[in-house]
């Protein structure tokens, strides 16, 4: 029954004499749940008085910290001044009493509410539940840097891309049943809370409030990475994901001056052996039993339209295997720093001594190239122009007021 009501309303609206009006969307920004810490202990504090409560028992903390810990006998909650709260139940909420106040988690300030839960392993999980606009304040400078005012349009482009990325996540089916929405690391978007904010970053979020990228009316998957190396990637070049019309690779002349535009890595034969041993000891795909054995050669089998390596053939005395797409970056890691390969946009040379890779770019290369966005802003391009260069056919629209 209920589903027929909107249709009836639409019919009535269609009969009205007044022309339909284009309304500014209203409503508040949605709340995102960001994982900010995990472990057996969490410290909660405040620069101003805050309340910490399990929903049944609460304690107003005016001085000092509240310590939460978990062990086999349960959850323990102690406050430095004011005593323990016995047998608290999770979740525990903490928020500043002043509306603009912040809560400290392990010494770092966060806007909004902090929620402590337990993950599936029993560890404490600290989440920051914060409105999307406040979340972005702690993301934008962390992702693209503290920039000069002359690069403000790149900050705005970053704000719109980061907002779209988060909103798209919230719109995924079943998202609200998960423990949280976003990691605070490069797994999603780097989020530093209030300590990551800058005046210009805050202004870029404020001036783009509610603006997101849409393609044919739908929020886009707004991936971005540090430097595309001269050509962004089709999404299916970097990951095993279906093609997207707005995530097609494009030539990019704007990141050429970037420090991470080109790179090279030289590996001795022994180092390649160690990399293969390390990778396959961690994760041996089905059918790869006994791998790798002694390696003989590495050869590029297939490239995508941007030139990125799609397939790398590894030949060892156990036979031939193909590594594909982004996975290649996790095999050829720096043995000292454990840094993954900067990109899959490389050429490979093999000789008696070992393997030399010469490459371009840093990151997966899908969507916006951050270094290119900076280059475009330097040339006077506007935020929307920057976004349209990297996400083909999109429109920037307001999702809320």
Q: Is 255 in the site for Zn ion (CB under 5 A)?
A: yes
The residue among 36 and 255 lying less far from Zn ion, judged by its C-beta, is: 255
- Give the nearest distance from C-beta 370 to Zn ion in angstroms: 8
Give the binding range for Zn ion (CB under 5 A) out of 104-112, 156-164, 298-306, 367-375: 367-375
- Letters for 270-309 (x = contact with Zn ion by CB under 5 A, - = none) are ----------------------------------------
Give the binding range for Zn ion (CB under 5 A) out of 9-17, 42-50, 147-155, 255-263: 255-263
The residue among 105 and 161 lying less far from Zn ion, judged by its C-beta, is: 161
CA atoms within 13 A on the CB side of 345: 24
Total residues contacting Zn ion by CB under 5 A comes to 5
Distances (CA, A) of 193 to 3, 20, 44, 220, 236: 41, 42, 14, 25, 32
The residue among 129 and 252 lying less far from Zn ion, judged by its C-beta, is: 252
- Give the nearest distance from C-beta 29 to Zn ion in angstroms: 30
- Give the nearest distance from C-beta 386 to Zn ion in angstroms: 11
- Give the nearest distance from C-beta 369 to Zn ion in angstroms: 3
The residue among 34 and 369 lying less far from Zn ion, judged by its C-beta, is: 369
Asked if 50 contacts 102 with a C-beta cutoff of 8 angstroms, the reply is no
- Letters for 323-362 (x = contact with Zn ion by CB under 5 A, - = none) are ----------------------------------------
Q: Is 372 in the site for Zn ion (CB under 5 A)?
A: yes
- Give the nearest distance from C-beta 394 to Zn ion in angstroms: 18
The residue among 54 and 252 lying less far from Zn ion, judged by its C-beta, is: 252
- Give the nearest distance from C-beta 79 to Zn ion in angstroms: 50
- Give the nearest distance from C-beta 143 to Zn ion in angstroms: 15
Q: Is 369 in the site for Zn ion (CB under 5 A)?
A: yes
How far is the C-alpha of 309 from the C-alpha of 301, rounded, in Å? 8
- Give the nearest distance from C-beta 151 to Zn ion in angstroms: 15
- Give the nearest distance from C-beta 252 to Zn ion in angstroms: 4
The residue among 132 and 228 lying less far from Zn ion, judged by its C-beta, is: 228
Q: Which of 108, 166, 252, 384 binds Zn ion (CB under 5 A)?
A: 252
The residue among 228 and 377 lying less far from Zn ion, judged by its C-beta, is: 228
The residue among 182 and 369 lying less far from Zn ion, judged by its C-beta, is: 369
Q: Lay out the sheet containing 50-53: strands in order across.
A: 58-61, 50-53, 92-96, 113-118, 124-131, 31-39, 182-183
Instruction: Name the residue among 225, 214, 224, 208 with its Cα closest to residue 159.
Output: 208
Assigned token pair, 83:
């005593």
The residue among 255 and 357 lying less far from Zn ion, judged by its C-beta, is: 255
Q: Is 228 in the site for Zn ion (CB under 5 A)?
A: yes
- The site for Zn ion (CB under 5 A) is made up of 228, 252, 255, 369, 372
């Amino acid at each position: 029954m209920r589903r027929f009501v909107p249709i009836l309303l639409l019919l009535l609206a269609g009969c009205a004499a007044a022309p339909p009006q284009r309304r500014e969307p209203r409503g508040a920004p949605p709340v995102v749940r960001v994982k900010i810490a995990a472990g057996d202990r969490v410290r909660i504090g405040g620069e101003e008085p805050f309340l910490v409560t399990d929903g049944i028992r609460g304690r107003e903390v005016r001085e000092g910290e509240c310590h939460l810990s978990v062990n086999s006998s349960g959850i323990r909650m102690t406050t430095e001044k004011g005593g323990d709260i016995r047998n608290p139940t999770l979740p525990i909420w903490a928020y500043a009493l002043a509306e603009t106040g912040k809560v400290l988690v392990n010494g770092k300030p966060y806007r909004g509410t902090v929620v402590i839960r337990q993950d599936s392993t029993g560890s404490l999980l600290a989440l920051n539940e914060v409105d999307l606009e406040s979340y972005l304040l702690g993301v934008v400078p962390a992702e693209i840097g503290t920039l000069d005012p002359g690069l403000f349009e790149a900050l705005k482009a970053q704000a719109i891309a980061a907002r779209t990325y988060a909103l798209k996540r919230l719109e995924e089916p079943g998202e609200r049943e998960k423990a949280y929405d976003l990691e605070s690391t490069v797994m999603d978007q780097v989020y530093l809370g209030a300590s990551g904010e800058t005046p210009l970053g805050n202004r870029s979020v404020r001036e783009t409030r509610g603006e997101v990228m849409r393609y044919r009316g739908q929020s886009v998957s707004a991936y971005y990475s540090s430097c595309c190396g001269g050509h962004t990637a089709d999404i299916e070049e970097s990951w095993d994901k279906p093609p997207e019309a707005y995530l097609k690779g494009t030539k990019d002349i704007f990141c050429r001056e970037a420090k991470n535009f080109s790179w090279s890595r030289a590996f001795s034969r022994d180092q390649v052996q160690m990399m293969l041993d390390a990778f396959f000891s961690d994760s041996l795909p089905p059918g790869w039993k006994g791998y790798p054995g002694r390696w003989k050669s590495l050869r590029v089998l297939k490239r995508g339209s941007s030139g990125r390596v799609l397939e790398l053939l590894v030949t060892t005395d156990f036979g031939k295997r193909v590594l594909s797409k982004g996975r290649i970056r996790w095999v050829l890691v720096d043995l000292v720093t454990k840094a993954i390969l900067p990109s899959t946009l490389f050429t490979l040379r093999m000789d008696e001594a070992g393997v030399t890779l010469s490459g371009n770019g840093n990151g997966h290369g899908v969507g916006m190239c951050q270094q290119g966005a900076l280059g475009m802003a330097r040339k006077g391009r506007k935020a929307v122009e920057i976004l349209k260069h990297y996400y083909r056919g999109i429109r920037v629209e307001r999702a809320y007021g």
